[in-house]
């Protein structure tokens, strides 16, 4: 048993108590501070991981949007050809005459009838007269439907030469057909500057 009244033992006890106080102070100052720093680091690390996850999700969404945009662009280009920015009358005239010639018919009159402006496109009207037969007229309209641009045929009226005694006779043709041909062009405001999206950007 230690005699606490012994001065040597008292000094030893004081030394031990002093050492414990120093150790506690060191732990309080350094270990607690280090633990706080570790906790702060963990918090910042978890925050960075969360932000990184958000960035990855946004990147995936962006890649998906770019892929969808490029798919739409592929579909847009052929559709744009169907609705051109402008359509020269000579181009339309040539298409009509070629279609008529391919189907043993003769277009002998094309008269512009003005145009009508819509929100995204313009409609241009032409009155057309041609000499043909019933069968050839059907084949002609089928070819018109396959023009490289959109047109519409309306107000079709066919009459035989018996009904039109003053009409110029065309050999081997049994009737005169009149119709309104409508061609369409895109308005400048409807055009968009389309470029492929680069997935690497």
- How confident is the model over 77-104, as pLDDT tens digits? 555 555 666 677 888 888 999 999 999 9
Tally of CB atoms within 10 A around 82: 13
**Cα–Cα distance between 137 and 153 in angstroms, integer?**
12
- Strands 121-132 and 151-160, how do they pair? unpaired
Q: Are 187 and 121 in contact (CB under 8 A)?
A: yes
Plot region of 158 (φ>0 → left; ψ -120 to 50 → alpha; else → beta): beta
Express each pLDDT in 3-52 by its tens digit: 666 666 666 666 676 666 666 665 565 555 555 666 676 677 677 778 87
Give the three-state DSSP class for 19.
helix
Phi, psi at 168, each rounded to 5°: -65, 130
pTM greater than 0.85 (yes/no): no
């Amino acid at each position: 048993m230690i005699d606490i009244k012994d001065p040597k033992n008292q000094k030893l006890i004081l030394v031990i108590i002093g050492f414990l106080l120093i150790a506690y102070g060191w732990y309080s100052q350094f270990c607690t501070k280090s633990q706080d720093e570790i906790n702060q680091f963990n918090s910042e690390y978890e925050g960075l991981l969360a932000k990184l996850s958000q960035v990855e999700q946004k990147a995936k969404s962006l890649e998906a949007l770019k892929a969808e945009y490029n798919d739409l662009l592929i579909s847009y280009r052929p559709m744009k050809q169907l609705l051109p920015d402008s359509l020269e009358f000579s181009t339309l005239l040539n298409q009509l005459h070629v279609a008529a010639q391919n189907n043993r018919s003769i277009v002998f009159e094309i008269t512009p009838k003005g145009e009508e402006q819509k929100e995204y496109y313009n409609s241009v009207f032409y009155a057309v007269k041609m000499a043909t037969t019933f069968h050839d007229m059907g084949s002609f309209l089928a070819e018109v439907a396959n023009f490289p641009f959109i047109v519409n045929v309306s107000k079709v009226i066919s009459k035989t030469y018996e009904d039109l005694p003053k009409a110029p006779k065309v050999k081997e043709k049994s009737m005169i057909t009149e119709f309104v041909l409508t061609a369409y062009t895109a308005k400048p405001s409807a055009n968009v500057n389309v470029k492929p999206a680069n997935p690497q950007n």
